[in-house]
Amino acid sequence: MATPVPVRSGFRVAGPEAPATAYAHPPLVECWLETNLATGNLLTPADFTALVAKLGPEWPQRSARPSPNGDLRLTNAMGDRVLRLSADGFGFGWLGHGGERYPRYEAVRDGFVAVLDLVRDIVKQRTGTFTPITWAVRYVNRIPCGTVWSTAGDWSFFRLWQPHVLTGLGVEPSGFQGRWDLPLEAERGHLTIQFRHGGVATSDASNPETTNSETSNSVWIELTASSTAEDTEASLFDGLDYGREVIVRSFNGLVSAEAKEYWGVALPVRQVGTKAN
């Protein structure tokens, strides 16, 4: 199997370049795009009020509630889009815990951009500047028991799982949590991978939709790519797109062929009907 290698334009493989894998029914249940702002652009309570008023009826104000870390969280009327606001910046996310089909990255990005435009207008009116300083992309995958695994012995579908290191230690795999922090190419940030058994998505622990019996016996794989935005919106969008590419290719390299088959591997549409040169 080819080894994923991070490069400036995304992940490539050592050998012939491979396209990013698409799945007919992926285990993805959350996708988040996030940014923080420069100190001079920190959001105020008045900014929050103005933003909520500008979001429109799709984002009912009664949905506002504190998130686990105390930030403000709003959910749209359909319950599949979430906006988290803090003094430092904001995150825009898609939720698919109810079985909703992932709308694709481009649709989530469009939602993020729409909120960014509103925040920019509000902040620039108050401060005269608007400077994003970080970007982050997070994909959360929920893999229930009975799908690609039935016991901890089947967790080898995730290639970083190495149960042999627990032999003789009397350690039970139930409730396992593992985290890997991987530096990407120079000046391109970090990729954080979390593998956990049980509980709920760490990014949305207070959401009641994530606290049912299915999630309590699930494996969660979260991938987060993040870095600085070099103080420009162009760098912010370049970073988000790069981070998404890193995450997609990394997940593809981390799971077994059997798991990919279970989730319905499909080549990108542009590949259909083409011939090799």
200: left (phi over 0), alpha (psi -120 to 50) or beta: beta
What does the pLDDT average to over 224-242?
Answer: 93
Is the pLDDT reported for residue 104 higher than 60?
A: yes
Tens digit of pLDDT for each residue in 28-60? 999 999 999 999 999 999 999 999 999 989 999
CB of 81 within 8 A of CB of 94?
Answer: yes
- pLDDT at site 167: 72
What is the domain partition of the chain in residue ranges? 27-263
- Residue 81 host element (H or E): strand 81-85
Tens digit of pLDDT for each residue in 113-171? 999 999 999 999 999 999 999 999 999 999 999 999 999 989 999 999 987 777 777 77
Is the pLDDT reported for residue 7 higher than 50?
A: no
- pLDDT at site 223: 98
Quick one: tokens of 144?
Answer: 């229930």
Q: How confident is the model at residue 20 (pLDDT cuts 50, 70, 90)?
A: low
The amino acid that residue 246 corresponds to is V
- How far is it, in rounded angstroms, from Cα 93 to Cα 35? 12
What does the pLDDT average to over 227-245?
Answer: 93
Calculate the alpha carbon distances from 262 to 113, 148, 169, 257 in Å: 34, 7, 33, 9
Of 229, 227, 251, nearest in space to 140 by CA: 251
- How far is it, in rounded angstroms, from Cα 168 to Cα 259? 29
- The residues pairing with 28 across neighbouring beta strands, listed in sequence order, are 141
DSSP letter (8 states) at residue 26: -
- How far is it, in rounded angstroms, from Cα 154 to Cα 158? 9
Is the pLDDT reported for residue 11 higher than 70?
A: no
- pLDDT at site 258: 95
Tens digit of pLDDT for each residue in 48-95? 999 999 998 999 988 888 877 778 999 999 999 999 999 999 999 999
Q: How confident is the model at residue 277 (pLDDT cuts 50, 70, 90)?
A: very low
Tens digit of pLDDT for each residue in 175-213? 889 999 999 986 789 999 999 998 766 555 445 444 455
Of 7, 40, 6, nearest in space to 231 by CA: 40
- The residues pairing with 143 across neighbouring beta strands, listed in sequence order, are 219
- The residues pairing with 180 across neighbouring beta strands, listed in sequence order, are 193
- pLDDT at site 12: 36
Quick one: tokens of 205?
Answer: 């622990």
Residue 20: phi and psi, rounded to 5, are -65, 140
DSSP character string of 133-182: EEEEEEEEEEEETTSS-SSGGGGGGBTT--GGGGTTTT---TT-EEEEEE
- pLDDT at site 266: 67
pTM for this entry = 0.85
Q: How confident is the model at residue 214 (pLDDT cuts 50, 70, 90)?
A: low
- pLDDT at site 17: 41
Quick one: tokens of 202?
Answer: 């760490």
Per the prediction, the chain carries an average pLDDT of: 84
